[in-house]
Amino acid sequence: MRFFISADIEGVTGINNWDETNKSHPDYAEFRKQMTREVLAACEGALAAGAKEIVVKDAHDSGRNILASELPKQVQLIRSWSRHPYSMVWGIEEGFDAAAFIGYHSPSASGDNPLSHTMSSNLVSEMQLNGELCSEFLLHALVARSHQVPVVFCSGDAGLCKRVKANDPLIETVATNRGVGNATWAIHPDLAVEKIRAGVEKALRKELKQYVQKIPEHFILDVRYTRHASAYRSSHYPGAKLLSPTTVRFECGSILDVMRYILFCV
């Protein structure tokens, strides 16, 4: 079994402030460690379920967060950014049996995590895909599914887990935090690790063909920018148009084209 993991940090247990996500801040070390522990737990669950090869994409900020020496020997780690449109799941391809998302978070314009955002916390105030509030999970799960790789597990804040379950009830989730205003209410870090390990193993022991694989035939991406100048600039991308001074609509026929727009305009 080949297993793919994409890991972020804004959905690991206990995290609450942007300082805790930033390599230059002393608070970061604690949450880098917890991010690594949660990824390790996912790897251990996958190995227990029979995985022989695991590829991990470090998908937060610099892409240089996970402590590689603490992962099992069966793991290959992708660090930093190739600048491919697949972004947080770059490296995924046909032939992987399943994928998981660790440490993910709620989307821009949601109130479920003090650190809610979609692809950019500075440029984007809201993103919708086919009328649905769009998270980084949704975007990258569609990329995985476009390669016939089922997404079987997600950990992160409770709001995101609820959205994931609404999309496919079979996906195993672990809610690490619950956001309330600018506060988070989190489970214990050790409990998060235990739940992630067990959840990934449980997910991979299911019949993988049961998971939702539907890909829309047409995509309407609406991006509301924080600044009107950013929207005006992005409206010149081929196929994009201004809906309002701050909102751009881009329509296309594939998730790859959606991700290309995001690469160049977000």
Strand partners, 78: 57
Q: What are the pLDDT digits (tens) for 2-43?
A: 999 999 999 999 999 999 999 999 999 999 999 999 999 999
Q: CATH for 2-107+135-210? A: 3.40.50.10780
Report which DSSP code applies to 96.
B
Q: Is the pLDDT of residue 213 over 80?
A: no
Residue type, 150: P
Per-residue pLDDT at 214: 85
Q: Which pairs from 27-33 meet CB under 8 Å and 24+ separation?
A: 32/65, 32/66, 32/67, 33/67
Residue 75: both structure tokens together:
């793991």
Helix, strand, coil abundance in the chain, percent, nearest 5: 35, 25, 40
Can you give the residue ranges of every domain in the chain? 2-107+135-210, 219-265
Residue 63 has pLDDT above 90, yes or no: yes
Burial of 22 (0-12, 13-18, 19+ CB in 10 A): middle
Strand partners, 226: none
